[in-house]
């Protein structure tokens, strides 16, 4: 669930200061880890929630009338009190630092706040005052007539009687803490609430308001937040969390409505909101916005001369919110179950004796996800899957990498100079690209002709046949920034053009047909057309597909330009 819908937000503080949807996961042997909901995965996350949970705020959420369940107005007003607070260890105040300082500031500014509370409560109506500190609770009791204080040290019988007297209107002002009366109590008899100071817990803030602002409340509810001028950051933090919670609940209600209506036996229209199809055909290429598992079935048997592609690396990345995306697999087992459909279909459409070139790499093993720090043999698993589907493993080329560039990009501990000096037992080589070459058994019915146009000379062949491909730069890719949606969690990683060029020139002639079932932004098709071949590209994600078509049209137009010097 985490890898599909969430990304590790790398936060170390309990205080979340943005409006993103964040959850905390606690491990038995670790501190909590925060994960932020991926922007593009919100609909699918809410839809997944609806498969095992029901959510409703009012009857109209399920298309029923709200009679009897309409809450009155809610007014929340902060009252800012001036203070002369100066930190003991600073010349001037530079912002809130942590929970300890927050508590210290609340204590030192409590006297200034009590005057505002006395003015508010002097109207003869019932009031519920929430305190966070013993000092605040005692100060409020001392300065506010007609008040009842309920403390943690009080006997259960006293607490129960105090709450019941307040509910029955026998006492006018109730002073207590959220952890004592903030959860589960029904105080609809009161519509005036005061927060004597505030902490960063939105859940506490919400629950305390809901003691009065709940079904059965007959009057508009007034909520006053008494804070000092140097505590406004806390109020802003609470507001952001409130916006986050409202956005999450609205999204949840909206997305699960269909599922809930189905559970109640209602007729609803089922639509796959995350899947759309398009196609673009020209003289030199065909591009399809589609699911490869389905689209490949439309390609004729034994019609493809070469397949070149880079599949999703198991459960390492999540490229889109679609369940059709192989990158959304929960683990290796599910990934290879899905990937096998692709492997088998590529086998069927490939001509006998022809090959498929698959770009892979070892995958870092992570402590949080895998239980250890190391490397997983993804190329080996891909080889095993192809052999099970009937392919013959025919060879492998290794593309060298710059370990320093990889260390900067991935922050891998094993590649850092500091780790080498600290303890080289934890150092490791860079993760290299593996180009796995698979051949379809059978006789080549149209044997490859000798390369007559000089695409590969002897020296080039000696270099390539060595199995270690050097001279391919990691930046040698198509531009991809325009393919990245504003809600994407990461940049895509196009395959290097030099790698694709070698596969194409080694295993095809000009005019041959090249397939890529994971089209991305069109790198494989781009190189195919550039070197005189034809291409079929299939891509699932609309934003990638748009730039794929643009790239393919550009290279087709470029190759169609007349050569002014061809007759010289």
Maximum distance among all Cα pairs of the chain, rounded to whole angstroms: 107
Distance CA 154, CA 137 (A): 13
Distance CA 72, CA 79 (A): 22
Give the burial class of 264: count Cβ atoms within 10 A of its Cβ; 0-12 exposed, 13-18 middle, 19 or more buried: exposed
Q: Which residues make Cβ contacts (< 8 Å) with residue 437, sequence separation at least 6?
A: 355, 356, 357, 393, 394, 395, 396, 397
- In contact, 56 and 40? CB cutoff 8 Å: no
Give average pLDDT by consecutive 10-residue segment, the chain, 568 residues.
Answer: 66 39 52 64 75 79 83 93 69 62 81 90 94 91 93 94 96 95 93 91 92 93 91 86 80 72 62 74 96 94 96 65 72 88 97 95 78 87 96 95 74 76 80 94 69 72 88 80 45 79 94 95 96 96 91 94 59
Note the pLDDT of residue 487.
46
Task: Give, rounded to a whole angstrom, the gap between the first and last alpha carbons of the chain.
Answer: 64
Instruction: Write b or e for each residue in 137-153: b if 16 or more Cβ atoms lie within 10 A of its Cβ, otherwise e.
Output: bebbbeebeebbbbbee
Note the pLDDT of residue 32.
55
What confidence tens digit (pLDDT) does each residue in 381-394 have? Answer: 999 999 999 999 99
Distance CA 200, CA 52 (A): 30
Pseudo-torsion of CA 42, 336, 291, 441, nearest 10°?
A: 170
Tokens of 225: 């937040």
- In contact, 100 and 167? CB cutoff 8 Å: no
Give me the phi and psi of 279, to 5 degrees please: -150, 155
Helix (H) / strand (E) element for 386: namely helix 378-388
Fold of 2-260: Rossmann fold (3.40.50)
The vertex-331 CA angle with 326 and 334, nearest 5°, equals: 60
Give the burial class of 358: count Cβ atoms within 10 A of its Cβ; 0-12 exposed, 13-18 middle, 19 or more buried: buried
pTM across the whole model: 0.59
Tokens of 555: 């290279």
In the chain, where the domains are located: 2-260, 284-560
- In contact, 261 and 52? CB cutoff 8 Å: no
Tokens of 196: 């004597």
Distance CA 259, CA 534 (A): 45
Residue in the block written with tokens 């909590």: 32
Nearest Cα residue to 288 out of 545, 27, 559: 545
Tokens of 366: 């992570």
Note the pLDDT of residue 451.
44
Residue in the block written with tokens 């880890």: 33
Note the pLDDT of residue 396.
96
Fold of 284-560: Rossmann fold (3.40.50)
Nearest Cα residue to 452 out of 383, 522, 505: 505
Helix (H) / strand (E) element for 304: namely strand 304-309
């Amino acid at each position: 669930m985490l890898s599909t819908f969430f990304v590790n937000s790398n936060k170390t503080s309990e205080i979340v200061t943005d409006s993103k949807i964040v959850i905390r996961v606690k491990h038995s042997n670790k501190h909590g880890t925060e994960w932020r909901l991926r922007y593009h995965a919100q609909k699918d996350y809410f839809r997944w929630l609806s498969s095992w949970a029901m959510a409703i705020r009012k009857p109209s959420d399920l298309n029923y009338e709200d009679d009897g369940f309409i809450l009155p107005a809610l007014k929340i007003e902060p009252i800012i009190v001036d203070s002369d607070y100066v930190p003991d260890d600073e010349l001037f105040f530079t912002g809130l630092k942590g929970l300890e300082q927050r508590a210290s500031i609340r204590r030192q500014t409590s006297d200034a706040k009590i005057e505002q509370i006395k003015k508010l409560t002097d109207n003869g109506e019932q009031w519920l005052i929430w305190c966070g500190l013993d000092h605040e609770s005692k100060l409020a009791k001392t300065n506010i007539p007609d008040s009842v204080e309920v403390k943690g040290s009080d006997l259960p019988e006293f607490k129960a009687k105090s709450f019941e007297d307040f509910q029955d209107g026998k006492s006018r002002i109730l002073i207590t803490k959220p952890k004592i009366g903030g959860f589960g109590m029904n105080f609809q008899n009161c519509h005036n609430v005061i927060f004597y100071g505030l902490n960063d817990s939105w859940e506490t803030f919400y629950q305390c308001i809901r003691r009065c602002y709940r079904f059965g409340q007959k009057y508009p509810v007034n909520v006053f937040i008494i804070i000092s001028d140097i505590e406004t950051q806390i109020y802003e933090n609470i507001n952001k969390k409130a916006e986050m919670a409202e956005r999450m609940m609205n999204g949840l209600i909206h997305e699960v409505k269909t599922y809930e209506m189905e559970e109640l036996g209602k007729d609803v229209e089922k639509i796959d909101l995350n899947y759309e199809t398009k196609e673009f055909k020209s003289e030199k290429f065909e591009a399809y916005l589609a699911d490869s598992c389905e689209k490949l079935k439309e390609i004729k048997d034994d019609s493809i001369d070469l397949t070149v592609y880079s599949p999703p690396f198991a459960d390492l990345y999540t490229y889109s919110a679609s369940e059709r995306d192989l990158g959304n697999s929960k683990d290796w087992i599910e990934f290879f179950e899905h990937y096998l459909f692709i492997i088998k279909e590529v086998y069927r459409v490939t001509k006998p004796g022809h090959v498929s070139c698959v770009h892979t790499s070892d995958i870092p093993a992570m402590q949080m996800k895998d239980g250890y720090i190391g490397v997983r043999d993804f190329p080996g698993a891909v080889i095993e899957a192809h052999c099970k589907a009937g392919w013959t493993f025919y060879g492998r080329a290794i593309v060298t990498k710059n370990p320093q560039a990889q260390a900067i990009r991935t922050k891998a501990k094993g590649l850092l100079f500091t780790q080498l000096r600290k303890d080289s037992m934890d150092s490791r080589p860079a993760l290299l690209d593996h180009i796995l070459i698979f051949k379809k058994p059978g006789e080549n019915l149209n044997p490859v002709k000798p390369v007559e146009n000089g695409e590969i000379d002897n020296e080039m062949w000696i270099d390539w046949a060595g199995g270690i491909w050097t001279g391919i730069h990691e930046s040698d890719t198509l531009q991809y920034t325009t393919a990245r949606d504003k809600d994407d969690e990461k940049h895509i990683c196009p395959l290097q053009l030099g790698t694709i060029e070698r596969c194409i020139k080694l295993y095809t002639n000009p005019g041959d047909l090249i397939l890529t079932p994971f089209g991305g932004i069109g790198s494989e098709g781009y190189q195919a057309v550039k070197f005189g071949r034809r291409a079929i590209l299939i891509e699932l994600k609309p934003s990638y597909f748009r730039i794929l078509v643009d790239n393919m049209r550009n290279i087709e137009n470029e190759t169609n330009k007349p050569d002014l010097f061809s007759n010289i």
